[in-house]
Amino acid sequence: MTAARTARGRGAGRPTLEEVAARAGVGRGTVSRVINGSPRVSDETRAAVEAAVAELGYVPNRAARALAANRTDAIALVVPEPEARFFAEPYFSDIVRGVGAALADTEMQLLLTLVGGDRERRRLAQYLASHRVDGVLLVSVHADDPLPELLEQLGIPVVISGRRREDEPLASVDSDNYEGARAAVAHLVARGRRSIATITGPLDVYGARRRLDGYRAALAEAGLEELTAHGDFTEEGGRRAMAELLERAPHLDAVFAASDVMASGARQVLREDGRRIPDDTALVGFDDSAIARHMDPPLTSVRQPIEEMGRAMAELLLAEITATEPARPSLVLPTELVVRASS
Amino acid sequence: MTAARTARGRGAGRPTLEEVAARAGVGRGTVSRVINGSPRVSDETRAAVEAAVAELGYVPNRAARALAANRTDAIALVVPEPEARFFAEPYFSDIVRGVGAALADTEMQLLLTLVGGDRERRRLAQYLASHRVDGVLLVSVHADDPLPELLEQLGIPVVISGRRREDEPLASVDSDNYEGARAAVAHLVARGRRSIATITGPLDVYGARRRLDGYRAALAEAGLEELTAHGDFTEEGGRRAMAELLERAPHLDAVFAASDVMASGARQVLREDGRRIPDDTALVGFDDSAIARHMDPPLTSVRQPIEEMGRAMAELLLAEITATEPARPSLVLPTELVVRASS
DNA sequence: ATCACGGCTGGGAGCGCTCCCACACTAGTA
DNA sequence: TACTAGTGTGGGAGCGCTCCCAGCCGTGAT
């Protein structure tokens, strides 16, 4: 009468290592070796254990393993809440999908950690340390964020999305904002546009600055003059910047907005001004979001390989976790110009 | 020389219960009682323990707790991968945000589980059982999905998003698809439209059927005749259905699409046919997604309180986990008509 | 003064693993 | 023949908690 095993309740009736060992007629250590793929087991023993595992439907208890081995086989994806709202679409779900794909063939599980206000942010490092996750994926990190360095000091492997500056010291995955912007503007040049303006993102964000650099490089190549207005990645910001540009340079014949959302704002102002897109003014965005695809006319935009970035982040993190020597590579993934009717 | 404590490495140097007990001059059991908020501790002892906890920066080790208490303080959010791609926007991130908000003041942590193909889906129940999560949140469950019942049998609390049928046996959170559709069509009637068509979703999805029911109810109230074409929640499906409707009933003056994406497809066909929106044909969607906000003209749409649904799901699950008696309530949250220029 | 009965408390046992040491046993070397 | 080295294996110890039982003390009833 194994009452404890047959009783109702969570985890009830699940076989343990010990039971597998008894069934296979071997010791606990041997089963553990088989489960963990140690080579120091004879083929017959291995087969016997594997049969017992299959018969009993044994699955290791993660908590016990975590406690004994001092590793959790879990990584945390930390998403700062206020920013999440911004690029929730499609950024977030794509990152998650990429991370999930990279983890699919792994024992690693994904912990989602939404960080709200400053108070929670301050507790976060301790929180992560207590949960003893094996590594942390950090998205949307600000240039002055102390969190990455804090985690470093705690000895927790970290990978961040988007570099914070040129010489990012931490492992990071970024998209080629510079080249994406350059290609977009070169495309406008190739279409015969000669007065090409840009609406920038907030320039304290490294990626936004790189997009501006790319814009400038393309103009320099073509020997054209730059025309810049500052936005903040919001639709209203795009509207304001576009209005300012029309005031300053009514002759402009193309606009490169550093985000689709800003492009959408710009489009409204262009329409209100009676300008046809692309006939009078060509428009190009950045992100290749749902907005771009459904805009009227559909918006030419720079696609970032977000899902691949998520995948790469996870792979980098897994490498960092298993590695003895920290490597901290900075990966930059190529962007792709998706040409649609707006240019 | 507590070498083990001061050594580098994950989890190194973190104080244990025992150390807190020693510092506070009490026993292990007492510290555990304080940590877990047991009332059977005197005020002085409690204060002493809390001081020791603060001084040492003690945080309980989750793995040890999970092993000893046979609960993980974690719930899993299970997202079927193929479907995820569909309603990734904005559904997924909003659900996550809501769930995160509900869990913020809790010790519960959120495990994200992406399920890919059928093979992985089959392993999922065992997987979840082995991870010994305290509960499972299931989004996008098909009517014939065996997973919910499987989890039930394993004694794992489950909450699903969206009922699979009228008398959903499991705990569920749904939005009021019927009333949302009814309100949208009533709005068109109030605007003086008399020939109102609908583009339905796939009718094996309960929510899509309810939207059709709501459409019919509103028409019946107004004494109007129905005009139905079937879609599949895709843009192309919306286009096809719209073309079919124009063929069958060129005189129609309004269309209620059961999703924004289908409305976007319909809009293209209406434009190609030379019809102005809303002058000739009013258009209403469902979901209030980014597409609706950025459509030209902006699309009137039915907003589902997705974030609140996520929050409600988490709260229901927490209740189910702590409850002794299973309750399995079906919660239906109200929708809201967001009127924009398209109607 | 004696007993019963609560409120607090300490600490043993044990959760299911991994780690590692010790021990067989085999085969090769002197 | 003895000794070494290598392979495979069993099982003790211990990870850091929770659970629970026994024991302490003080109080009020007998």
Residues 6-25 of A with CB under 7 A from strand C: 11, 14, 16-18
Is A49's CB less than 7 Å from nucleic acid strand C? no
Chain A partners within 8 Å of B291 (Cβ): 290-291, 294
Candidates B93, B153, B72, B75; CA nearest to B315 is B75
Determine, for residues A88 and B70 on separate chains, whether the beta-carbon distance falls below 8 Å.
no
Query: How many structural domains compose chain A?
Result: 3
Distance from CA of B179 to the nearest CA of A (A): 27
CB-neighbour burial class of residue B116 (10 A; exposed 0-12, middle 13-18, buried 19+): middle
User: Which tens digits make up the pLDDT trace of B234-259?
Assistant: 999 999 999 999 999 999 999 999 99
Residue B41 pLDDT > 70: yes
For residue A286, give the DSSP letter.
Answer: E
Domain of residue A155, residue span: 74-175+307-333
Nucleic chain C: which protein residues 153-182 of A have CB below 7 A from it?
A: none
Q: Is residue B338 part of a domain?
A: no
B148 and B124 belong to one structural domain: yes
Q: What is the pLDDT of residues A142-181, one digit of tens each?
A: 778 888 888 888 788 999 999 998 889 999 999 999 999 9
- The answer to whether residues A168 and A316 belong to one domain is yes
Domain shared by B155 and B267, yes or no: no
Examine residue B12 and state whether it is found in any structural domain, yes or no. Answer: yes
Touching A: B residues 51-70, CB under 8 Å: 57, 59-64, 66-67, 70
**Yes or no, beta carbons of A120 and B104 under 8 Å apart:** yes
In this structure, are residues A341 and A335 in contact, taking their beta carbons and an 8 Å threshold? no
When pLDDT is averaged across residues A111-123 and rounded to a whole number, the result is: 78
CA distance B51 to B20: 9
User: Is A203 an 8 Å CB contact of chain B?
Assistant: no
Quote the CA–CA distance of A261 and A233 in Å, as a whole number: 7
Contact A162, A138 (CB under 8 A): no
**Quick check: B92 and A96 CB within 8 A?**
yes
CA–CA gap between residue A304 and residue A184 (Å, rounded): 13
What is the pLDDT, as a whole number, of residue A11?
47
Q: Any idea what the CATH number is for the domain that residue A50 is in?
A: 1.10.260.40
The reported pLDDT for the residue numbered A7 is 34
Residues within 8 A of B (CB atoms), A 207-226 only:
none
Cα gap B68→A200, rounded to integer Å = 55
Specify the pLDDT at position B294: 87
Q: For B200-226, what is each residue's pLDDT tens digit? A: 999 988 999 999 999 999 999 999 999
By the CB < 8 Å criterion, does B6 face chain A? no
Q: Sign of the C-alpha dihedral, residues B197, B202, B208, B213?
A: positive
For residue A4, the model assigns a pLDDT of 33
Asked if residue A139 and residue A202 are part of one domain, the reply reads no
Residue from the list B59, B131, B294 with its beta carbon closest to the beta carbon of A264: B294
Domain-located, residue B195: yes
Residues B81 and B186 grouped into a single domain? no
**B299: buried, middle or exposed (CB in 10 Å: 19+, 13-18, 0-12)?**
buried
Residue at A154 is within a domain = yes
**Strand D positions closer than 7 A to protein CB:** 7-21
Instruction: Kindly give the interhelix angle for A28-35 and A43-56, rounded to the nearest 10 degrees.
Output: 90
Residue B11 in this model has a pLDDT that exceeds 50: no
Query: Residue A190 domain-assigned?
Result: yes
With a CB-CB cutoff of 8 Å, which residues 243-302 of chain B face chain A?
264, 289-291, 294-296
Give me the pLDDT at residue A8, please: 36
B121 and B136 belong to one structural domain: yes
Residue A153, burial from CB neighbour count under 10 angstroms (0-12, 13-18, 19+): exposed
Beta-carbon count within 10 A of A16 CB:
16
pLDDT at B30 over 50: yes
> Rounded to whole angstroms, how far apart are CA atoms B134 and B155?
10
Give me the pLDDT at residue A5, please: 35
C-beta atoms of B63 and A77 within 8 A: no
More confident position, A79 or A22: A22
Question: In this predicted model, what pLDDT tens digit does every residue of B119-176 receive, in sequence order?
Answer: 677 678 777 777 779 999 999 887 788 888 888 887 889 999 999 988 899 999 999 9
Residue nearest to nucleotide C16 (CA to C1'): A64
**Beta-carbon separation of B132 and A77 below 8 A:** no
Lowest average pLDDT, out of A322-326, B18-22, B293-297, goes to: A322-326
pLDDT at B84 over 70: no
Q: Is residue B281 part of a domain?
A: yes
* Judgement on whether residues B165 and B252 belong to the same structural domain of the protein: no
pLDDT score of B3 more than 50: no
For A235, name the nearest residue in chain B, comparing CA atoms only: B294
- % of chain B beyond a pLDDT of 90: 70
B-chain CB neighbours of A257 within 8 Å are none
Least confident span in A120-124, A319-323, B172-176: A120-124
Across the interface, of A66, A127, A290, the residue whose CB is closest to B63 is A66
Residues of B whose CB is below 8 A from A100: 81, 112, 114
- Determine which of A96-105, A146-155, A210-219, A238-247 has the lowest per-residue pLDDT on average: A146-155
Same domain, A277 and A167: no
Mean pLDDT over A111-140 rounds to: 80
Contact A104 B116 (CB under 8 A): yes
Q: Which residues contact B199 (CB under 8 A, 6 or more apart)?
A: B229, B230, B231, B237, B238, B241, B242, B245, B255, B256, B257, B258, B262, B263, B266
Q: For residues A290 and A90, is the Cβ–Cβ distance under 8 A?
A: yes
In a domain, B343, yes or no: no
Partners of B330 in beta bridges: B172
Give burial (CB, 10 Å; 0-12/13-18/19+) of B241.
buried
Are B109 and A116 within 8 A, CB to CB?
no
Residues A85 and A132 both lie in one domain: yes
Q: Given an 8 Å threshold on Cβ–Cβ distance, is A112 in contact with B131?
A: no
Who among B63, B112, B264 is closest to A67 (CB)?
Answer: B63
A35 Cβ under 8 Å from any chain B Cβ? no
A69 touches strand C (CB under 7 A): yes
A210 in Cβ contact with A269 (< 8 Å): no
Residues B204, B209, B212: CA angle, nearest 5 degrees: 145
The pLDDT mean for chain B works out to 89
Residue B5 pLDDT more than 60?
Answer: no
Q: What is the DSSP letter of A299?
A: P
Angle at alpha carbon of residue A6, lines to A3 and A9, rounded to 5°: 110
Kindly tell me if the per-residue pLDDT of B283 is higher than 90: yes
The verdict on a CB contact (< 8 Å) between A290 and B289 is yes
pLDDT at B83: 60
* Residue A166's CATH number: 3.40.50.2300
Q: Is the pLDDT of residue B2 over 90?
A: no
**Average model confidence (pLDDT) for chain A?**
89
Nearest partner of B234 among B262, B257, B255, judged by Cα: B262
d(CA A214, CA A163): 16
- Is the pLDDT confidence value at A329 over 70? yes
At residue A14, does pLDDT exceed 90? no
Q: How confident is the model at residue A304 (pLDDT cuts 50, 70, 90)?
A: very high
Same domain, B266 and B236: yes
Co-location of B130 and B166 in the same domain:
yes
Same domain, A222 and A138: no
Whether B21 is covered by a domain: the verdict is: yes
Query: Counting one residue from A and one from B, how many pairs have CB atoms under 8 Å apart?
Result: 153
Angle between helices A17-24 and A28-35 (to 10 degrees): 110
More confident residue, B342 or A165: B342
> Does the pLDDT of residue B94 top 90, yes or no?
no
